[in-house]
Structure 1
Amino acid sequence: MAGDVTQARVMRSEWTKLRSLRSTQWTMGLAVLLLIGLAVPLCISASHNWTVADAQAGNQDPVYQSLAGLLLAQVAVGVLGVLTMTGEYATGMIRATLGLVPRRLPVLWAKAAVLAGVTFVAMLVASLVSFLIGQAILGSHDVGVSLSSDGAARAILGAAFYLTAIALLGLTLGALIRHTAGAVTALLGAVLGLPLIFSMFGERLESAQRYLPALLGNAISSTSPARLTDLVSPGRAFVMLCLYIAVLGVASAYALTRRDV
């Protein structure tokens, strides 16, 4: 009965759906593989090109070098976010879901909470492993840093948060567009296409480009000073990513309550 529907029960149902889907295992596994796997070649390349003097002067960012795989891992977690919503539209299960939860919004909040929790934990572990592997490689050439180095732990947490934010952006786009291909295209256009388009205009859009999701991801997972990377501060990047999630979250909530299934 409708009176028996609680947010906790809806979240339990969404957790069951998410962990039972094969697409969850594949996309999350691919994200972990990309994040960790790319740390090896990137750090090997850096270890042969960086000098100890550059590293000591802070002209390089060994922390971000080991986390740069997030640029591809974001595609996998973004697709997972999209599928978390559009998968039910594709199979028609959304009718049963919303029939059991007629108020609708608890479904969206439950999907967002479960997706965010799973993604953050998985990406935090993967980011830490990427960092440790990368710094082991860089450290053998005296250009690495330790976990206790200034900004290192924050950057690892930032990388996990950014990837979680991308998953949530995928979820909200899926709720807005309700079609997997369309939502994935919109997400990839936002995180990969827009930086390329903005860069074509050079300095005219340089200040605006820093606030694109991909550049915010670089800022929040980097330890280099803003003067070297031309990025916003990690704190401002965190706020902007939260703002993106909030705006798209409100839009998707409005669409979900106003449209027919």
Structure 2
Amino acid sequence: MSTTTLPAGPYRVTPARVLRSEWHKLWTLRSTWINLIATTVLTVAMGVGLSAAYDGGGEQLDTVVLVLLGMQFAQINLGVLGIMATAGEYSTGQIRATMTAVPRRLPVLWCKAAVLAAVAFPLTLWTNLLTFPLAQSFLSGTDKAASLGDDGVLRALAGNAAGLTLLTVLALGIGALARSVPIASGAFIALVMILPEVLSMLPYKFVDDAARHFPGPALQTLTTAEPHPGSLPWGAALLAMALWAAAALALAAVTLRRRDV
């Protein structure tokens, strides 16, 4: 009795196939569409709404920061998207099928990060470039009036998009480490929004300096067209966020190799 052997070539696991698989998984989830649409709508609506209500009083914010205050929602939305890409698969059990198909495991993590970055950056950049002129139509004649050609404006809009993209990758790494959506979500919010505020209250200069390198304050710096005295340089803030994302991915990679699915 003879057996038929299928050619191995067409069924090999390649980076391109893993990438295509992760891209397909991301876009077939209804939550992805809801999340991304909500990110854009909330950012635009809040930017336009705050600009329309601006009367020149209250806290003095940078023009770009004022227009993009909706990034507070974007941080959460994109963070959840990153967490669901990894921890969500553990909660549903789909991760077993994924790792069976890709036994080396690490290509899955790299491809998830690449796919999320490829989605998050153009989405947030497009949203920022849409929100800014819409908001400025209400700020004409105020002290917050500005144009895309003004010094630092385009850099701040692109920096915000880059920062939010790195936050998404950071969330992905946290999700892969925690393997639980609630735990990963709590850790992400604590790291980005709560811990820097707590540290900045302590009466120690070195602690305050360290707090400025956390993802939340670094993102604020990247979104500022006119840097404030004492804030991180723009390049240092971008580097800090990149290192946070890289560290989360590195720890996730070590965990993925050493722990059972």
Equivalent in the alignment of 1:156: 157
More helix by share: 1
2:208 is aligned, of 206, 209, 212, to 206
Identity of matched residues, %: 39
Q: CA deviation at 1:141?
A: 3.6
1:193–1:142 Cα change, 3 Å: closer
Worse-matched range after superposition: 69-78 or 108-117: 69-78
Residue 3 of structure 2 corresponds to: none
For the 8 Å contact 1:50–1:143, the answer to whether it is kept is: no
SS of the residue corresponding to residue 162 of structure 2 reads helix
Q: Hey, what's the Cα distance between the residues in 2 that align with 1:60 and 1:107?
A: 41
Contact 1:27–1:77, Cα closer than 8 Å, also in 2? yes
- Aligned mates of 2:46, 2:256 — CA distance in 1: 38
Alpha-carbon distance between aligned partners in 2 of 1:139 and 1:60, rounded to the nearest angstrom:
16
* Aligned-partner residue type, residue 71 of structure 1: Q
Could you say which residue in structure 2 is the equivalent of 1:25?
33
Aligned-residue offset at 1:200? 2.9
What secondary structure does 2:236 align onto? helix
Output the TM-score relative to the length of structure 1.
Answer: 0.90
Report the Cα distance in structure 2 between the residues aligned to 1:60 and 1:74, rounded to whole angstroms. Answer: 19
> What amino acid sits opposite 1:212 in the alignment?
F
Identify the residue that residue 244 of structure 1 maps to in structure 2.
244
1:88: Cα distance to partner? 1.2
RMSD of aligned alpha carbons: 1.8
Question: What is the CA distance between 1:142 and its match in structure 2?
Answer: 6.2
Q: 1:19-98 residue pairs with structure 2 within 5 A?
A: 19-46=27-54, 48-49=55-56, 61-98=62-99
Aligned to 1:8: 16
Whether 1:144 and 2:152 are equivalent positions in the alignment is no
Give secondary structure in 2 for the equivalent of 1:38.
helix
C-alpha deviation, 1:140, in angstroms: 4.7
For 1:55, the equivalent position in structure 2 comes to none
1:143 deviates by 3.6
> In terms of mean alpha carbon deviation, does 66-75 or 234-243 score higher?
66-75
Question: Do the aligned residues in 1 keep the contact of 2:221 with 2:227 (CA within 8 Å)?
Answer: no
- Unaligned 5+ runs, structure 2: 1-7
Alignment partners' CA distance in 2, 1:67 and 1:102: 42
Q: Deviations over 1:37-94 (max 9, x none)?
A: 1102322343x1169xxxxxxx752122111211221011001100011121111111
- Write the letter of the residue equivalent to 1:137: F
CA distance in 2: counterparts of 1:165 and 1:174, whole angstroms:
14
| Cα 1:213–1:90 shift into 2, 3 Å | same
Tell me how far apart the structure 2 counterparts of residues 243 and 193 of structure 1 sit (CA, whole Å): 19
Letter of the structure 2 residue corresponding to residue 8 of structure 1: A
Query: 2-side partners of 1:31 and 1:200: how far apart?
Result: 30
1:40 touches 1:134 (CA, 8 Å); kept in 2? yes
Q: Is the 8 A contact 2:177 2:255 kept in 1?
A: yes
Aligned residues: 251
CA distance, structure 2, for counterparts of residue 194 and residue 43 of structure 1: 29
Query: Which stretch of structure 1 is more off in the superposition, 121-130 or 198-207?
Result: 198-207
Letter in 1 for 2:239: V
2:83, 2:181 within 8 Å by CA — same for their partners in 1?
A: yes
Runs of 4+ more than 6 Å apart: none
Report the Cα offset of residue 95 of structure 1.
0.7
Structure 2: distance between partners of 1:234 and 1:34 = 26
Equivalent residue runs for 1:95-134 within 5 Å: 95-134=96-135
CA distance in 2 between counterparts of 1:199 and 1:122 reads 32
